[in-house]
A and B are shown apart, each in its own frame.
Chain A
Amino acid sequence: MIERSPFFDFVSYAAMVIGLVLVLIPFWVVIVAGSQSLQEVARVPFSMLPSSHLMENIQAAWARADLGPKLINSFIVAAGVTIGKITLAAFSAFAIVFFNFRARMICFWAIFITLMLPLEVRIVPTYSIAANALLPFQVLLDTLGITWLVQSVSGVQIALNWNLLNSYTGLILPLIATATGTFLYRQFFMTIPDELVEASKMDGSGPMGFFWDVLIPLSRTNMLALATIMFVSSWNQYLWPLLVTTDRANFGTVVMQLKALIPAQNGTPDWNVTMAGALIIMLPPLLVVALMQRWFVRGLISRDK
């Protein structure tokens, strides 16, 4: 035990309390403003004490931003992306770690390099892909001359087309590929002792048997950690849903609706309604993180290694 230092303990607490205030101010302001009436929220100086209008503000925000269906959309998208990412990451890492085939490292790098290609740098072309997800295959067939061949032999012109705009598929599918997930699963699979594989082989089970009966149960905690990170990041997506949905009424997500909640330039500055809406929208991922803290921290950290 290190020597006691009341002065330094005091400094530590003081620093942490200041940090707490810094971190909590935005949360507190959202709650307080969201609970005030229009008169209260417009008052100068702003009162930092909550008032009693939270429910009516929530109802107003709910109606204005059409939050009911949007929340359902957000849950569908976040769940779809999370499940998809976990599944594909586990499959890919399993193939890369436990199989002996020549291209395993090439495959790993092909997935890993996508970390350097964030959506932001390929938004315009990715949008055009979403309008026709089969376009790359069409181009492949065209350049290989297959389109020409098929057309001259059978008279049928190959025209592949799959529009992803305004669909759950479009909202989910392009986000499912995951370098981070594959990497984390790979890290975990590498720690599995060889003996376990040998034992499973002796039991006469094949690779898929080993995967389902041994690896998946063992990786349960990792899966929870990954699921938390992925749920948060897909719930919080803004740019991609914005691009892929023109039909906001049916396919909009809640985070996109934040902009619709901001008071218009010359409109009533009803920030109370805005904040009530923001509260609803930021709550689900916050709850997930607060509940899963122990696991998800572990998941994040192992990315470092």
Chain B
Amino acid sequence: MERRAFYRNGWLPWLLLAPQLILVLVFFYWPTSQALYWAFTLEQAWGGGNTWVGFDNFLAIFADNKYWATVGRSAFYAIAATGLSMAVALILAMFADRALSGTKLFQSVFVWPYAIAAPAAGVAFRFIFSPEAGLIGAVNQIWPGIWDPSTVGWHALAMVIICHAWLGIGYNFIFFLAALQMVPRSLSEAGAMDGARPFRRMLDLQLPLIAPTVFFLLIMNIISSFTDSFGLIDVMTEGGPIGATEVMVYKIYFDGFKGLDYSGAAAQSIVLMLLVISLTFVQFKWVERRVHYN
């Protein structure tokens, strides 16, 4: 992993690293430590500074049923969006990997959702799922009120999850396709000689070989479902109706900037951060094991 280091000028590497290190310090480590500080303190009224309150802020959010509902909702959101997106991308990659004429064209289009800003997709999906806009509206004419994300909570949540899953298709597809293309063709040919049908070869030969990629993407997707949902939700539902689409990130933003509850928002940030860190560690452990397998 280490390569031979060639130069040993004392100050030059530091000069090269300085801009990046300063930015990282100012915009990553400082705010994070600030969030930690706020999470363990409470701002006094009348500008009395912050007083240390230990775990009180955490106890307060953990005692709040609404917070646990938000956590549960975020977990559901993450699992559903990840599952949906990865399933679609995997199926498409499996079929698009075959050397058929025209697959190149399909392959390029399947990548497109990657390029789209979440709020832009949010606007499009909000129109698609809007009961008065006529796409779903036709169904609503036959069964009035069967679909309305602006008033029915789970309709709204489903709409946001589907949009999130759609946005992830491009990214997941790229990784699945690359992994499949690294599987040696000879393996599939050997399988064919043994009389394995195409479906069997996909499930028993290719899928196990790309399992590391599946796992890598699984964690990546779950992390991004927890953290990247803000733009989508802000444009589609603003957390409504009645909190039905309020996930952890949105609640942090809302409590921090609208509720001006810095300590509560900071405590929630720390919980989310710990979640992201533990997921990342799971991923690292796996990558480590993978290296040993090779």
Could you say which residues of chain B place their CB within 8 Å of the CB of A153? none
| A97 to B192 CA separation, bound complex (whole angstroms) | 45
State the Cβ distance, B151 to closest chain A Cβ, in Å: 12
Contact with A along B71-111 (1 / 0, CB 8 A): 00000000000000000100110011010100100101111
Interface centre among B16, B174, B249 (most CB of A within 10 A): B16
Residue A115 lies at the interface, judged by CB distance under 8 Å to chain B: yes
* Among B41-49, B50-58, B62-70, B270-278, the stretch in contact with A: B270-278
Inter-chain contact B26/A129, CB cutoff 8 Å: yes
Residue A248 lies at the interface, judged by CB distance under 8 Å to chain B: no
Inter-chain contact A194/B230, CB cutoff 8 Å: no
Could you say which residues of chain A place their CB within 8 Å of the CB of B199? 8
Inter-chain contact A269/B132, CB cutoff 8 Å: yes
Residue B282 lies at the interface, judged by CB distance under 8 Å to chain A: no
Q: Say which residue of A16, A95, A129, A262 sits within 8 Å of B96 (CB atoms).
A: A16
Residue A230 lies at the interface, judged by CB distance under 8 Å to chain B: no
| A87 to B75 CA separation, bound complex (whole angstroms) | 37
Could you say which residues of chain B place their CB within 8 Å of the CB of A176? 23
Contact A177:B24 (CB < 8 A) given known A96-B17, A123-B252: yes
Inter-chain contact B138/A45, CB cutoff 8 Å: yes
Residue of B nearest to A228 (CB): B115
State the Cβ distance, B30 to closest chain A Cβ, in Å: 4
State the Cβ distance, A205 to closest chain B Cβ, in Å: 11
Interface centre among A20, A177, A208, A232 (most CB of B within 10 A): A177
Inter-chain contact A201/B6, CB cutoff 8 Å: yes
List 18 additional A-B contacts (Cβ < 8 Å) besides A129-B34, A278-B123. Answer: A12-B98, A26-B121, A29-B124, A30-B124, A92-B17, A95-B14, A99-B8, A100-B5, A116-B280, A121-B227, A121-B273, A129-B31, A238-B118, A239-B230, A258-B117, A289-B114, A293-B108, A304-B216
Residue of A nearest to B122 (CB): A258
Residue B184 lies at the interface, judged by CB distance under 8 Å to chain A: no
Residue A171 lies at the interface, judged by CB distance under 8 Å to chain B: no
Residue A255 lies at the interface, judged by CB distance under 8 Å to chain B: yes
| A207 to B53 CA separation, bound complex (whole angstroms) | 52
Contact A111:B20 (CB < 8 A) given known A30-B124, A190-B3: yes
Inter-chain contact B5/A99, CB cutoff 8 Å: yes
Q: Say which residue of B10, B28, B111, B198 sits within 8 Å of A289 (CB atoms).
A: B111
Inter-chain contact A8/B6, CB cutoff 8 Å: no
Inter-chain contact B252/A88, CB cutoff 8 Å: no
Residue A197 lies at the interface, judged by CB distance under 8 Å to chain B: yes
Could you say which residues of chain A place their CB within 8 Å of the CB of B103? 16
Contact A9:B135 (CB < 8 A) given known A19-B106, A24-B109, A26-B125: no
Inter-chain contact B114/A232, CB cutoff 8 Å: yes
Which A residues are within 8 Å of any B CB, using their own CB? Answer: 2-3, 5, 8-9, 11-13, 15-16, 19-20, 22-27, 29-30, 33, 41-46, 88-89, 91-92, 94-101, 104, 107, 110-111, 114-118, 120-129, 133, 135-136, 173-174, 176-178, 182, 190, 194, 197, 201, 206-208, 232, 235-236, 238-239, 242-243, 255, 258-259, 261-262, 269, 271, 274-275, 278, 281-282, 285-286, 288-290, 293, 297, 300-301, 304
State the interface size on chain B (CB cutoff 8 A). Answer: 102
Residue B189 lies at the interface, judged by CB distance under 8 Å to chain A: yes
Inter-chain contact B262/A16, CB cutoff 8 Å: no
Contact A282:B116 (CB < 8 A) given known A26-B124, A123-B252, A297-B178: yes
Q: Say which residue of A8, A25, A45 sits within 8 Å of B137 (CB atoms).
A: A45
Inter-chain contact B252/A124, CB cutoff 8 Å: yes
Q: Say which residue of B138, B216, B230 sits within 8 Å of A120 (CB atoms).
A: B230
Inter-chain contact A125/B266, CB cutoff 8 Å: yes
Inter-chain contact B189/A23, CB cutoff 8 Å: no
Some 11 contacts from A to B, beta carbons below 8 A apart, are A16-B96, A23-B110, A25-B128, A41-B134, A98-B6, A114-B28, A125-B31, A176-B23, A282-B121, A301-B174, A304-B175
Residue B7 lies at the interface, judged by CB distance under 8 Å to chain A: yes
Inter-chain contact A126/B98, CB cutoff 8 Å: no
Inter-chain contact B112/A16, CB cutoff 8 Å: no
Inter-chain contact B35/A124, CB cutoff 8 Å: yes
Could you say which residues of chain B place their CB within 8 Å of the CB of A115? 280
State the Cβ distance, A43 to closest chain B Cβ, in Å: 6
Could you say which residues of chain B place their CB within 8 Å of the CB of A42? 132-134
| A111 to B192 CA separation, bound complex (whole angstroms) | 47
Interface centre among A2, A96, A111 (most CB of B within 10 A): A2
State the Cβ distance, B279 to closest chain A Cβ, in Å: 9
Residue of B nearest to A7 (CB): B198
| A187 to B135 CA separation, bound complex (whole angstroms) | 47
| A190 to B231 CA separation, bound complex (whole angstroms) | 37
Inter-chain contact B27/A99, CB cutoff 8 Å: no
| A177 to B23 CA separation, bound complex (whole angstroms) | 6
| A45 to B141 CA separation, bound complex (whole angstroms) | 9
